[in-house]
Chain A
Amino acid sequence: MLKIESIHTFYGLSHILFDVSLEVSKGEIVCILGRNGAGKSTTMKSVMGLAPPRQGNIMFKNRDITGVKPHQIARMGMGFVPDDRRVFFDLTVEENLEISERGVEKPNAWDRHRVYEFFQPLKHIRSRKAGLLSGGEQQMLTIGRALVTNPDLLLLDEPTEGLAPILVGMLEDHILALKDSGLTILLAEQNQKTALNLSDRGYILDNGVIRYQGKIEDLRQNEEIMRRYLLVG
């Protein structure tokens, strides 16, 4: 589904990602674990075309998407849920979904009504301005907004950041439900528990370099790695 081949990404003069390679196969949840500032969000933005890499290639569905414009990448079937949520604050919940909706010819396609079924709380606040929602509601909306574009691969950047534990549990169930419905997910997380609960495979990113990759069971048992790259301080 997605193959990142040794990309180097810069913000202006600062070199953020060094030779990052990773792969996501159809139907998997793959996580990128790492501390704040490790380069997780930059990886996501590179894939989405928002921070194109200066070197290396990104293949999506066997097509080279390096340097392709973000809206074209989105139309190829990539959904993006950014870490800072970034709902369209000025628009209502309904309008957020309305402008993002892109119908496709397939059974069970996502539209705003299916999003309201999936995230029930959104249904009752559909006419509220997105800027006035709580963190949890905004997170549901950002995911819903990505879903109505009917993606095949969902980039989920720190979906649990700043959410109350009860909401984190709820969100994890929803993410697993999405996987069961056939969606492939690349997940960036700081929250190890969530990442380990959900993922099939994982990568550890530290200072812009991939330090480890492997099955999630192996990672769970490898305390040495976890301590070295993920513990704060």
Chain B
Amino acid sequence: MDFSTSITLNGLIQQFLIGLSRTTILFIVSSGLSLVLGVLRIPNVAHGSLYMLGAFLCYTIASFLGASSLGFWLAILLAPLVVALVSLAVERGLFCHLYDREHLMLLLFTFALMLIFGDVVKAVWGSEYRSLSPPEVFQGSLSILGMPFPKYNLFLLCAGPVVAFALWFLTQKTKIGKIARAAAVDRDMVAAVGINVSWVFASVFVIGCYLAGLGGALVAPTQNISQGMDHTIIMEAFLIVIIGGLGNVWGALLGALIFGLTASMGILVWPQFSIVFPYAAVVIVLVFRPKGLLKATW
């Protein structure tokens, strides 16, 4: 097989941009997972389920408001907020009573949540596929260097940096962010200066779950909204967080870039086996940096 002839520079750039827009979704979801992992020290297995919930909610809210542009944007806005509310209820109602338990208990709890959310989604939306069109402005494609490029993906390319900036601002510049960074390393001392760590945990958990919901809402117009999308994303998100460095939000960005770009570039190189590339990249990273690329907070 001769690969080189089939790859043109324009095709390369197009795949690169497609990969970057996929990276946006991966980054948003895994940064939320990483945040929760870093501060609460809990691998939230149900994170992918909240992403799926975000996608279904986005679909339902958009259809309910009529398939207008306004309805779409309201859905993008509201769906993650509903996911955040659900996670707040779960955290305050159940999860916060378990923090003193051993880790395995917490892991089992989030695993149970994943199963429950999966069933709830099945009960409410059934097992059919749903699909959602992007608003008119972002329908169709644009020609970039003579290659068609979906307009909605351009929107995703802009959303990524906005979320990254918001996260940077939140963790570095706000008081809750500073407290969360302190609690990630030494929760006892945070309590000893009079801060209610339980509420810090609740806030971080809700923000993390919001990001899962946001990722789900944003991804909704680009793919079929279906059962099982929770499993795919949680696998990918965990791998991204692991190669990035546990609990490090910037590690999640780096991991998402590696994962997203190897997947999309892989299609050019070897289409039938393109799915192998991101996983191979993960293996290579872990061989050389077993603790991830950036400093883990663990």
Residues of A within 8 A of B (CB): 48-50, 69-71, 74-75, 80, 82, 86, 88-91, 95-96, 98-100, 102, 145-146, 149
Contact = CB atoms under 8 A, between A and B. Distances in A.
Nearest to A150: B194
Contacts of B186: 86, 88
Contact of B193 (A49, A89, A90, A99): A99
B197 A71 contact: yes
Given A98-B175, A99-B175, A146 B193 contact: yes
B192 A74 contact: yes
A141 to B, nearest CB: 12
A88 B189 contact: yes
B181 A88 contact: yes
A100 to B, nearest CB: 4
Contacts, number: 63
Q: 7 closest pairs, A vs B, by CB?
A: A74-B194, A88-B182, A70-B191, A100-B193, A80-B192, A71-B191, A75-B194
A69 B191 contact: yes
Interface string B176-189: 00110110111011
B195 interface: yes
18 contacts: A50-B191, A69-B191, A70-B191, A71-B192, A71-B195, A74-B192, A75-B194, A80-B192, A86-B186, A86-B189, A88-B181, A90-B182, A90-B184, A96-B182, A98-B175, A99-B182, A99-B193, A102-B194
A146 B191 CA distance: 12
B44 to A, nearest CB: 22
A69 B196 CA distance: 9
Contacts of B194: 71, 74-75, 100, 102, 149
B193 A149 contact: yes
Nearest to B179: A99
Given A71-B196, A71-B197, A98-B175, A91 B191 contact: no
Contacts of B182: 88, 90-91, 96, 99
B181 A90 contact: yes
Given A71-B197, A98-B178, A88 B185 contact: yes
Given A88-B182, A99-B179, A100-B195, 8 more contacts: A48-B192, A71-B196, A90-B181, A90-B185, A91-B181, A96-B182, A98-B175, A145-B193
Task: Name the residue in A69, A89, A99 with the highest tally of chain B Cβ atoms < 10 Å from its Cβ.
Answer: A99
Contacts of B188: 50, 70
Nearest to B176: A99
B187 to A, nearest CB: 10
Contacts of B193: 74, 80, 99-100, 102, 145-146, 149
A88 B181 CA distance: 8
A95 B178 contact: yes
A89 B182 CA distance: 8
Nearest to B172: A95
Nearest to A48: B192
A46 to B, nearest CB: 13
Nearest to B191: A70
A230 B297 CA distance: 38
B269 to A, nearest CB: 40
A149 B195 CA distance: 10
A88 B185 CA distance: 7
Contacts of B190: 88, 99
